Chains A and B, each alone.
Chain A
């Protein structure tokens, strides 16, 4: 009896430490949350309108954090994703207002997103400064640039454009294309595998011939595409961009990634879908708690506590390889 119990306990511990558990936990948490809220709201939560709203709200954070997953996988943190997306949206919106051309706006958004991210990557690799510090500076710089451009005003996009884009399902199409591209690159190409190896252990990865600079640049380019598409989604959804627009986007992305099961250390426990799963979880939590009449000030606290709990539960550095420090 004792042996059986010990064996069961050992198996359970092994499963809890497995990659599969890390992959499944966020999805199970999301599904359980959704079921609980559906029961508590007598089915109102799971109505198609409600679910569509959750999906719509999750798309911007989901898109930007899907791109950011490549940087996270390499064991780095980019704190300028939000500022890049919002500045890109500001300039792309101004370009649309000047030209009236949607294709030009798309090209500018994606091009600028990539350019800003490449600049951050180059600064990090050329100056040999950690990505996190470079992106902190970039974040401050980009926010200042946006404030200088806008002053106290907003960039407003014609309602006809934003409503027709929504009606045509542009946000879903843009997200789906980017997600499929990211999924393929992350799981089935050398880029994705190399980034995960760098995240697991940079020293070992570099000794096998994987260039940190090269793959970091690639990760930032993909993240830049994510920021560009995210900017287009911001324009479509908001219709106007001011200095306060999506100001918490960066933190929302970080929260979404961790809630979605992405390891904060990167490596093999990185999943490209962590961003969208986490983003959906945040939206489900926000909407569900509001629907059961939890006070809005309490919701912020609940989000924070759950975030901490999930970080404690799921974030564990793999024991198999030596840490980068030694």
Chain B
């Protein structure tokens, strides 16, 4: 009996504190705020940085309050969350769930309820592009990512030595371009082109054919001193085993992954230790402590763990998505669409060729002064301030933000 009463009081205390802390009554201002649902696939430090930008920069600037989901993974989770958000009075959804099914179902649900919907996706889902509440997609530009890889990778090759490389990507998953792995395709394309240009290689097949080969293995380069091993995709039966033996051999001195470097850092340290050989790593990253650690921590051979990276400026997509959403909610949805069709907005990742460059980049996105898109920048993207703003204004702004050096100069 005592246990039951204790449990009852615990329940009561939990609920009481939640009701007290919940902002059911809070946030009532003269002009009601727009309530936006944010369906995320992230968690951890990376997400906390983005959440902080939503809450401290986007919210006050765009008169918005945000309802964040738990970490979601599929269409079902997205629709579940959107339903809750709709019931809670949300007028729009910014979704990070990017599978074709999730985008299609989310857009249809949003249309049914009259909610605006925008996803952070790198490919346009044409099946729902005509829906009037679909504001399109904003994600890393596949070709921009390829350019960034070519740039950062090219700098690793520029020391005058011959290099052999192990390229690890998801480029051949699902048939590459247009099927979810376009950014991987272009990244590998960029690196193979950089190798070809640097060492004047003669590949036995076209670069396209090399990338779309689902079997991992050595690429014939026509130069015995320059070796390229390629692992073209995950989820391919038998491929992982084959790739692992090559990985352990250490017959390469650059490991280029179109994934976050941290997934491979420990395994590569093991290879470096056992062979007493320095292997340089290039991978994707974002502005966070983990990347700083990679550029500052030394591997067993005394070199930094991470040597070059392609940095995805996450808050750029967040700022653009929220601005588009604001324009739609203030009656300018048509201006954000191209002849009634949803638009694909492309964010260009930044090439980071080493620790010194990252030192500068790492100062961005920390506060109002250093946000790549802060309130002053955002206000210029709003139709209420400038009736001439259209989707083309957004595209132009994104193109400007491709130049990280210009951003660093402006924010310093």
Residues of A within 8 A of B (CB): 9, 12-13, 16, 33, 36, 40-42, 44-45, 47, 49-50, 53-54, 56-57, 151-154, 156, 159, 234, 237-240, 242, 244-247, 286-287, 289-300, 302, 305-306, 309-310, 312-313
Contact = CB atoms under 8 A, between A and B. Distances in A.
Given A47-B87, A291-B88, A246 B76 contact: yes
Contacts of B145: none
A239 B75 contact: yes
Contacts of B80: 57
Contacts of B174: 152-153
Contacts of A47: 87
**By DSSP majority rule, is chain B's interface helix, strand, loop, or mixed?**
helix
Given A152-B234, A245-B76, A40 B22 contact: yes
B18 A292 contact: yes
B108 interface: yes
B130 to A, nearest CB: 14
A49 B86 contact: yes
B105 interface: yes
Interface of B: 1, 3-4, 7-8, 10-11, 14-15, 18-19, 21-24, 26, 43, 65, 67-70, 73-76, 79-80, 83-89, 99-101, 104-105, 108, 173-174, 234-235
B208 to A, nearest CB: 21
B68 A296 contact: yes
A133 to B, nearest CB: 28
A309 B80 CA distance: 26
Tell me which of B1, B8, B26, B100 has the highest count of chain A C-beta atoms within 10 A of its own C-beta.
Answer: B1
B96 to A, nearest CB: 13
Contacts of A54: 87
17 contacts: A12-B1, A49-B86, A53-B83, A154-B99, A154-B101, A239-B105, A240-B75, A240-B101, A287-B84, A289-B18, A293-B22, A296-B69, A296-B70, A298-B18, A310-B11, A313-B4, A313-B8
Contacts of A245: 74-76
B75 A300 contact: no
Given A44-B88, A286-B84, A292 B11 contact: no
Contacts of A53: 83-84, 86-87
Contacts of B69: 296
A296 B81 CA distance: 11
Contact of B87 (A40, A50, A159, A300): A50
B258 to A, nearest CB: 16
A309 B23 contact: no
A298 B10 CA distance: 16
Contacts of A297: 43, 70
Contacts of B234: 152
A299 B70 contact: yes
Contact of B79 (A237, A299, A309): A237
Nearest to A292: B22
A294 B18 contact: yes
Contacts of B10: 305, 309
Contacts of B23: 292-293
A294 B108 contact: no
B22 A159 contact: no
A50 B85 CA distance: 10
Contact of A294 (B7, B22, B104, B173): B22
A238 B3 contact: no
Contact of B14 (A242, A300, A302): A302
Q: 4 closest pairs, A vs B, by CB?
A: A292-B22, A240-B101, A50-B87, A152-B235
Contact of A16 (B1, B26, B67, B75): B1
Given A152-B234, A244-B73, 20 more contacts: A40-B19, A41-B88, A50-B87, A53-B84, A57-B80, A152-B173, A156-B100, A156-B101, A234-B76, A246-B76, A290-B84, A290-B85, A293-B23, A294-B18, A294-B21, A299-B70, A305-B14, A309-B14, A313-B3, A313-B4
A310 B7 contact: yes
B101 A41 contact: no
A295 B69 CA distance: 8
